[in-house]
Structure 1
Amino acid sequence: MAWNITDQEIDALVSKLSLSAKIDLVSGNGLWRTSPNYTHNIPEILMTDGTYGVRYSVEQIDGPQDRAEQLSAFLSVVNADLSRGVEGAFGSSRPATCFPNGCCYACSWDPELAYDLGTALAAECAHFGVNILLGPGINIRRTPLGGRSYEYFSEDPFLTGEIAAKLIKGMQDNGVGASLKHLACNNSEIHRTTMSSEVEERALREIYLSAFERAIRKAEPWTVMSSYNLINGVQAAENKWLLTDVLRDEWRFDGVVISDWHGIKDRPASLLAGNCLDMPESAPRKEDLRLAVEAGEVPMDDMDGACVRMLHLVRKAHASHITEPQTNFEAHHELSRRIAAESIVLLKNENDLLPLNMDAIGSIAIVGETARAPIYQGSGCATTSPTFEDNPVNEIVKLATNANVTTYDIADLQGDSAEDVLNTLSAADVVLFFGNTEVGVDGEGADRAHLNLLDGQDAAISQIAARNPNLAVIIATPDAVVMPWIDEVGAVLMPFYGGQGVGNAIAQVLSGAQNPCGKLTVTFPEKLEDVPGFLSYPGENHRHVYAEGLFVGYRGYDIRKTETLFPFGFGLSYTSYSYANVTCDTDRITEDSTFTIKVDVTNTGSRAGKEIVQVYVRPHTPRLSRPVRELKGFAKVALEPGETKEIQITIEARDLRYYDPAFGEWFLDVGPMSIEVGASSRDIRQILDIVAEARPLPATRLDINNEASQIVENPEIRSAFGNFLKSRLDLTDAETEQMLDYCGGSFLNLYDTVSWVAGEKISKAEMTSFLDQINSEFGAARIPAS
């Protein structure tokens, strides 16, 4: 039931609470609940994982909440099945829909589909009595080796933020809060609680924080979860710059910051930094906080502020709670199938091997254990116990009613009967090879070791392809893989981790009932060494230097002109599309502009399909180093054969800005920029140019220790400096120009250059004051961060 209490009553309530009650309020109650206070009628909140399904742990949610009993319950679960890894620690879970993982459903490039997913997740949370679902996880997939890549969406922050915002809206519009995670730079699972992500500020803001800002601005999640790692030497859960200066002051986030489970090392520091809720309950951390408050190290105002935010969250959760939830698990299974089918990416289709004519095909040979026991989710806290499970073989057999369907394990290619099996495969009309990366090694707590398929599978694919080129490879993987056999096979399908309905979705795509329309949200490299962060991954001495800076994913491949296996945004269809007549509703923009790109897209093939139209922006003369192009808009359009539709994509100029740490501000590059409309980051179909109008900036923030030449590079600043020199040194116009030319050729710093010829007629204080004025005038903030 709703907990009806006003803001004024919340403030009054906090003033009545004892210190012990306040500490309880900002601490967990057991593993998954906030602390109730029966004296003051404060109810609890129940939260649980995960990012693509509700993982309701029976033992740890419904089991004993007394700390003394929890240890024995925990040990009984772990000792019962030590092989289950991270998720084994949580015991058995109640069945819930295992939807496609983030690595899969983001490939739909369909925010409205993400909204539908959020709605379904909220319904299942309501069914279980859960108030907050701990997701979505939106960290950037910096390296394809990352253990939690299966939960995350993309290497691109714009796409990530758009998908996340709609997912959050779908959840919260239906009464269940989101916990946007993990803030920030949780890009590797190697020593994830002790490793410091060393990231320069431009990359941190433009790449790793950008998706969080976007999702918060567009969807207002109830909570944000801080990450395990350190950021530039400071624990994320205790990072005041991140959690207060950026998250609250710049982005105006007014919800609750939750720690990742046991992510806080110093509880007093975390509360001062802005981490409201410490999860799960920890008696030692509660005692540390009590001592710090009593010693005056944590002001009561900070404690009260965290308590007020917690009570606002409790009120919101109970006001939104659905008392009579209606959950249809069968319908959700169908949704899981639909999302997977919309997200599967077709990477290769030589000679139109696919789709298969299921009515006419005579024989189908299926190789791979995962065709019968599909891998459809990652390993970790998000692992969901499914309500149903579609078996790919069974789903294919249902459609290929006239075909002889045979199945083989990969091991059958290595035994005494291997030659007989290969002969059978060579005679089949088509061979479907179900491959996968390692399972149980990668996942939460462990990165992948390489980009190959499971040992022996790459060789097996080549072995089969040598006998039968009509070979389609279907790969279950959390992220990119290398394909040494790519030129040998007829087709490649990427379902990634497609959830419990992926078997049906694969069959629908193979048969042509579903025209594949998914596109990659990450770049597939030709080899691991091509990954932009390869040289600095995974770090050493507990420091992981993000040496590639801004140039993550396609940004790095483009700037180095590196060939890829498949580029960002790539995906084939059983039909084809043409682009024409790109226009923009303006040819000039300013920093507060919103403008619309229009382009005609035509289905030039014989099948109905959906195309994902992508808009990239390329500045011609960037002031600071920038990527060649960056995604700034996209749209998904359904087209019948021969149909043409005009697609409109609206872009905010604020999304075209870059961050300059010297000024601490976001700026728009001045001058021409290209709007590139394409089918992928390396398949640009239409281009037009517009001009950005903004005041030109100096090359860097001006200081008396800058080289003198830097102050005369910008015409406006040169003029202002000339006036300054003219007035202070009583120069003629000609003498002023000579002085400016002299500065332009000097390698000395600005003050030494001027004082060398002018002596002490201009003091350091005078010049510093003038430069501060110039910096303020030229570097004034154009648009606030949110």
Structure 2
Amino acid sequence: MNENMHEDEVRLSPEGLTLDQKIALVSGNGLWRTAAIEAEGVPPIVMTDGTYGVRYSIEQIDGDGGNQLEQFLAVVGQREGGSGGNEFGTSRPATCFPNGSSLGCSWDKALFRELGTVLAQECQALGVQLLLGPGINIRRTPLAGRAYEYYAEDPYLSGDLAAEVIIGLQANGVGASLKHFAANNSEVERTTMDSVIEARALREIYLKGFERAIAASNPWTVMSSYNRLNGLYAAENPWLLTDVLRGEWGYDGCVLSDWHGIKDRPASLLAGNDLDMPENELRKRTLRDAVVAGEVSEADLDLACARVLALVGKAMAGQRCGQKFSAEHHHEIARDMAAQSIVLLRNRDECLPLSPDSRARVLVLGPTATVPIIQGSGCATTRPTRVDVPLEELRAAAGEHLKFITLEGIDEGGHDAHRSKILAAASAADYVVVFVNTDVAHDGEGSDRTSLDLAEGQDELVAAVAAVNARTIVVVTAPDAVLMPWLDDVAAVLMSFYSGQGFGHAIAQLILGFQSPSGKLTSTLPVRLEDIPGWHSYPGEGGRHVYSEGIFVGYRWYDYKGIEPLFPFGHGLSYTSFEYSGLAISPDTLTDGGTMQVMFKVTNTGACFGREIAQLYAAWRGQETKRPVRELKAFAKVALGPGESATVVLTVPAADFAYWNEEANDWLLDEGVLGLEVGASSRDIRLSADCVVTPVKVYRRPIGIDSLVSQIIAYPTGRTRLASYLQEALGMEDGQAEALILGSSQSFLGIYSTLSWFVDEALIKPEELAGVIDAIAKDAAA
């Protein structure tokens, strides 16, 4: 960026620019810059990947460009090799914070705001004005290759956490790019696959997180996704980018494409995709030809140019030249984030924490104890400033007598002789800590995982060790869920996901009890692969992927189907205990435009400091509309010392309880009783209360003479108007008309056919009956 150009000198209008200058402005420059037209007051801005750390490639950003496609594919295809090294090429060091699937387990809005703040500081120091993140695609399947980047299987949690990152970034002068919009939930044929999603699921699950994040934080940019959505490429989808994003949600920022995500450049610009990244001469030429031919108006081009110029203006206003950051301080932040995100899944007989003062001998096994896997693979990969090694951190934090031992020169996945030595050592140890991981060859961008198993031989190792030592502790490093066939045989399980460069220190602090675990799962862990929602239609065929489970994604599926998960959404243990009490809701009747306030108390009833994540779920009681058993609507994290209490107040607008009605093409509240459930997880509900929902706007299915009698009398004046008609047309008494209505309401035929069956058909005139039904419908509309 031109540091000498004052922000007031930046052009904000495309007026006076030539056609070629406008085409350049909406087409990017090289891999990571926007076009510069400095003589016209348009400096370039620099952008780069970074959902959990800043990936600044010296060769790609500062070099002469070279073979851009080769460079781009090299980034996408790189695999994280452990503690850092040549796999990062010429990237500048930056802090590798916990990845999305890890940090999401903190459920901590303050931590996410802090993440945005420190990422902005590093961007400013590196000269980056736009960070391509956060990513909030729903973790629909744990097999998804980029699941490690995304926060949760729930849109409310994802959207609210993402908003905090965006606010932290943009308050410190660096733009965010909320991605990938929308429904890019698998890496299988990700640039061409058609995500086929019914309207209700699309609105309630796959768009809701974006809607919430945009409303709360107004990101400078939104990135369109590679995939097709219900037949149209997302980057060329006017319904998605214009009707919904700009029209319904009122978004006024810049939409940019994922890298080479545009197939038809004129169509993408008309759909609302302003900036085509990276630079591509063919796409620039086709856009210019379309403008010259009148297929794209210059007014449409000017609108896209104006949005790009507004982005450049914000970047210039936000730049803080010469800013530096403390790598050491950011490393401490990364450690704290990791410690608050790691999830204690099981702790039989309070095996953990290990006392630093004990005289125990602890055998440590597993490759990631000494070469930790701290992140996923692909475009988001960050070259860490340093990496904490778990074994070293355990030894450094242990007391004088507590010993962490390893088996030097032993291949843990090797032949029987080595296995015998491992088991002998495990049997002799007081405890065994086994560090396990998934296969990094399939954990990353461009490739979904092929199974939920650990890396080859590791399940067998855990099972064998647990058979000779009941106090076996397992530490799992993975992008998302794994199967745990050995679960019932081990004493404790800690799930770290990909915890960033502070993982080693964090896990040592938790194992030794210097911190109490507080992370809770943001995705359901299944018992078996076949239990995953949509497994029967994953990953699609013939270029189409039907999202067959509809709205029943994640925990919604397990609850609705009555499937017992390995561990439920929201689950996570602590070294202390918490009691919930005193639930109060206000008001007890909710209607459109209203707000529900839920208040309750959380008390630390244990012996140590701890953090609890309280979750509020909505549970509908008997409505006809098909709803999940419960849905997350709000959450709060409280920090309490022993014996301390905190009052939690959660406020939820009535709109958050609405569902998408496909026939009405609108958000509607359901009439009836709404349960408000407060829990420590989706399967651990501690408190509940009911309120009555009385919506102003009620949708009823259209009615006519082919509608069922039961459908017609469900309308407010249906029964009375129909009774009056029968009395007049057939000369019935009031009681006779009511008896006929009651009897015919059980019929599976339409009202005309049903009444004709019960009475003389000649007396039922279709046009008169149609008039009565029309009047009933008009009463309801009024």
Q: 1:721 to 1:291 in 2, by over 3 A?
A: farther
Deviations 1:160-214 (A, max 9, x none): 1111111111111111111000011111000101111111000000001000000
Q: Does 1:536 align with 2:542?
A: no
Pairwise CA distance, 1:695: 4.3
**Cα deviation code 1:51-84 (max 9, x no counterpart):** 000000111100004xxx4359849x959x9878
Q: What letter is aligned with 2:139?
A: R
Deviation sequence 1:550-580 (CA, Å, 0-9, x none): 1011100000111111000000001111111
Matched residue count: 766
Matched residues in 1 for 2:710 and 2:274: separation?
46
Q: Is residue 751–residue 767 contact of structure 1 (8 Å, CA) maintained in 2?
A: no
SS at 2:433's partner residue?
Answer: strand
Q: Do the aligned partners of residues 584 and 404 (structure 1) sit closer, same or farther apart at CA in structure 2, a change above 3 Å counting? A: same
Q: Name the SS of the counterpart of 1:61 in structure 2.
A: helix
Could you tell me whether the CA contact under 8 Å between 2:669 and 2:698 is conserved in 1?
A: no
The alignment's C-alpha RMSD in Å is 2.8
CA distance in 1, matches of 2:64, 2:729: 82
> After the TM superposition, which residues 569-648 of structure 1 pair with which residues of structure 2 at under 5 Å, given as runs?
569-648=570-649
User: In the aligned structure 2, how far is the partner of 1:445 from the partner of 1:3?
Assistant: 41
The aligned counterpart of 2:41 is 41
Which stretches in structure 2 are left out of the alignment for 5+ residues? none
Shift of 1:325: 1.3
Is residue 15 of structure 1 aligned with residue 1 of structure 2?
A: no
Inter-CA distance 270–645: structure 2 relative to 1 (3 Å threshold) = same
- Closer, same or farther: CA 770–61 of 1 in aligned 2, 3 Å: farther
Query: Does 2:67 align with 1:70?
Result: yes
SS across alignment from 1:434? strand
Deviation at 1:704, TM superposition (A): 3.8
The CA distance in 2 between the partners of 1:446 and 1:724, in whole Å, is 66
The 10-residue stretch of structure 1 (358-367 or 554-563) with the greater mean CA deviation from structure 2? 358-367
Matched with 1:761 is 767
Q: Deviations over 1:83-130 (max 9, x none)?
A: 789x99995211100000000001001011100011000000001111
The separation in 1 between residues aligned to 2:130 and 2:186, in whole angstroms, is: 25
| Stretch deviating more after TM superposition (443-452 or 617-626) | 617-626
Shift of 1:440: 2.5
Q: Quick one: distance in 1 between partners of 2:157 and 2:586?
A: 23
| Structural mapping, 1:541-552, within 5 Å | 541-552=542-553
Separation (CA, whole Å) in 1 of partners of 2:50 and 2:388: 21
- Establish whether residue 102 from structure 1 lines up as the match of residue 100 from structure 2: yes
C-alpha change, 1:270 and 1:338, in structure 2 (3 Å) is same
- Alpha-carbon contact 1:533-1:546 (below 8 Å) kept: yes
Pick closer, same or farther for the CA change 1:443–1:33 going to 2, 3 Å: same
Instruction: State how far apart, in whole Å, the 1-side matches of 2:414 and 2:427 are.
Output: 13
State how far apart, in whole Å, the 2-side matches of 1:232 and 1:691 are: 36
Q: Distance in 2 between matches of 1:568 and 1:378?
A: 22
What is the TM-score of this pair, normalised by structure 1?
0.92
The aligned residue for residue 782 of structure 1 is: none
Contact 2:752/2:766, CA 8 A, preserved across alignment: no
Distance 2:301 2:331 in 1: 44
Q: Cα offset for 1:722? A: 4.2
**Alpha-carbon displacement from aligned partner over 1:645-702 (angstroms, at most 9, x marks no partner):** 222222222111111010011111112111111110000111111111214845x530
Which digits, 9 at most, give the CA deviation of each residue in 1:234-261, with x for residues without a partner?
1111111111111111111110111110
- Offset of residue 233 of structure 1: 1.1
3-state DSSP class of the match of 1:39?
Answer: helix
* Alpha carbons 1:133, 1:178 under 8 Å: kept: yes
Pick the aligned partner of 1:186 from 184, 187, 207: 184
List alignment gaps of at least 5 residues for structure 1.
778-786
Q: Structure 2: how far apart are the matches of 1:467 and 1:349?
A: 18
SS in 2 for 1:451: coil
**SS in structure 2 at match of 1:565:** coil
How far does residue 405 in structure 1 lie from its aligned partner after superposition?
2.4
Q: Retained in 1: the 8 A contact 2:722–2:772?
A: no
Partner of 1:202, secondary structure, is helix
Task: Give 1:506's aligned residue.
Answer: 507
Label 1:550 to 1:100 Cα distance change in 2 as closer, same or farther (>3 A): same
Quickly say closer, same or farther: Cα 1:739–1:627, change in 2 above 3 A: same
The match for 1:56 is 56
Name the aligned partner's letter for residue 39 of structure 1.
Answer: A
* Alignment-mate amino acid for residue 595 of structure 2: T
* Identical pairs, percent: 49
Residue identity opposite 1:149 in structure 2: A
2:291 alignment counterpart: 293
For the residues of structure 1 that align with 2:528 and 2:233, how far apart are their CA atoms?
A: 33
Moved more, 131-140 or 711-720: 711-720
C-alpha deviation, 1:323, in angstroms: 2.1
- Indicate the residue corresponding to 2:262 in structure 1: 264
Give the 3-state SS of the residue equivalent to 1:191 in structure 2.
coil
1:781 alignment counterpart:
none
Go from structure 1 to structure 2 and tell me whether the alpha carbon gap of 1:413 and 1:488 turns closer, same or farther (over 3 Å shift): farther
Q: Which residue of 1 aligns with 2:412?
A: 411
Partner of 2:229: 231
Q: Kindly report which structure 2 residues correspond to 1:634-673, keeping only aligned pairs within 5 A, or say none.
A: 634-673=635-674
Say if 2:516 is the partner of 1:515. Answer: yes
Question: 1:589: Cα distance to partner?
Answer: 1.4
Supply the distance in 1 between the matched residues of 2:769 and 2:719 (Cα, whole angstroms).
20
Q: CA deviation at 1:15?
A: 2.6
Of residues 244, 252, 255, the one that matches 1:254 is 252
